[in-house]
Structure 1
């Protein structure tokens, strides 16, 4: 009898670099619009430029990186129209994910949302904007993880990296708004628990649209600016072989 064994293939250098760089962008180690130096990344990871270049191409496919011919690679920087499109997409997806999660695993999704709330509270107490961004992402991701629909999760993955980076940037620029954000997340959990999807859609529209307003304010005030010069990054890496 022929036997088949499932096992996980080791990640390639390209995948390792892409994964770490993706997280660095989400965590705000690279600013929106900032130029990414291939030489600097290669030195930090202790690899040649080839896996770095391939990693940047992978991230370009997810929209996190923009490669400009003869100019270099840059972290994405959305226009206001891009922000509006992302936010509209999020509202549609998250409401549908909440409906599915309520039917498929109501107790699980409510517990997952509560875990996100607990972590958000801990992040506020620690005044840790990156931790708060991670907790915020985990909160919204819970809707998809408990939806029982892999296609919804795949659709969310298309913009999850961008959303995470924008969350960190907005949380860092407007730390005084975290209490308002936390209160709205509590209300999201309550609407999901009650199965009130009309109320949830109204709240999510307000909650998510606030990102557009915050982004516009950050641009107008100069808190977020287009960066064109590369800077040395302190990306924590593991030695390569």
Structure 2
């Protein structure tokens, strides 16, 4: 009898650097369009430039980083056309994910969406823009986690990092509209619960398309080029082996 043991392989240094840098971009520690210095990152992480360079290549494959020959590496910064394409993609995917989640696990997805709403309310009460952005991202991801369709989840994952980073970058732009946002998310949950996907698509079209207008305002006001948070990158501790 052949036995199979499942275990998690330790992450490589490149994967650790990529994961931490991805989170830093999503959390707004780097501004959209900002240049990322390999030397600075290597010093902050306490590693050589090789895993940093490889990590930047990994993040370029997800669209979060743009590597320009002879110029350096930069955080992505979409054009208005890119924003519209991302929004269209999101609406199509999220409506389909909601259909699948309603059919596959209606009770579970509604419960998870309610938990997401509670976290969004807590973020509003704490006046924490970044926490609200995290809760917003988790709320929408819930549809895919309960869809029972890994291909839908993988498709969404192609743009999830960009969407999360854009939310954080525009968090100050949305600060006065968080209550409106929360009410719209509550309506999303109700549509999913009722299986009203025509109503859901109409709401998501308004809810998501508003991002384009907010992005334009943020660019015009110069807020997009400013980090939301002070970088908090820390040195990477060696992974213990046994």
Write out per-residue CA displacement over residues 35-75 of structure 1, whole angstroms, 9 at most, x where no aligned residue.
00101111111110000000000000000000000110000
What's the TM-score, normalizing by structure 1? 0.95
Distance 2:218 2:42 in 1: 32
1:4 Cα shift? 2.0
Partner residue in 1 for 2:41 = 41
Deviation at 1:169, TM superposition (A): 1.2
How far residue 237 of structure 1 moved from its aligned partner, in angstroms, is 4.3
Give how far 1:183 is off: 0.8
Tell me, in whole angstroms, the C-alpha distance in 2 between the residues paired with 1:211 and 1:240. 40
2:2 match: 2
1:157 alignment counterpart? 157
CA distance in 1, matches of 2:196, 2:100: 13
User: What are the equivalent positions in structure 2 for 1:1-241 lying under 5 Å apart?
Assistant: 1-225=1-225, 233-240=231-238
Distance 2:167 2:174 in 1: 10
CA distance in 2, matches of 1:81, 1:222: 19
Query: Is the 8 Å Cα contact of residues 173 and 218 (structure 1) preserved in structure 2?
Result: yes
Runs of 4+ displaced beyond 3 Å: none
Q: Deviations over 1:94-128 (max 9, x none)?
A: 00000000000000110111111000000011111
The count of aligned residue pairs is 237
- Residue deviations 1:119-145 (CA, integer Å, cap 9, x gap): 000001111111101100110001000
Mean CA deviation greater in 39-48 or 172-181? 172-181
Residues 236, 226 of structure 1: CA spacing in aligned structure 2 closer, same or farther, 3 A cutoff? closer
3-state SS in 2 of match to 1:140: helix
Q: Please list every run of 5 or more consecutive structure 2 residues that lacks an aligned counterpart in the other structure.
A: none
How far, CA to CA, are the matches of 1:238 and 1:226 in structure 2?
A: 26
Q: C-alpha separation between the residues in 2 aligned to 1:169 and 1:67?
A: 20
Once the 2 structures are TM-superposed, how far is the Cα of residue 219 of structure 1 from its aligned partner? 1.1
Give secondary structure in 2 for the equivalent of 1:67: strand
| Conservation of the 8 A alpha-carbon contact between 1:33 and 1:76 | yes
Q: CA RMSD in A?
A: 1.4
**How far is 1:226 from its partner?**
8.3
Note if contact 1:35-1:72 (Cα within 8 Å) is conserved in structure 2: yes
2:89 is paired with a residue whose SS is helix
CA–CA distance in 1 between the matches of 2:38 and 2:170?
Answer: 27
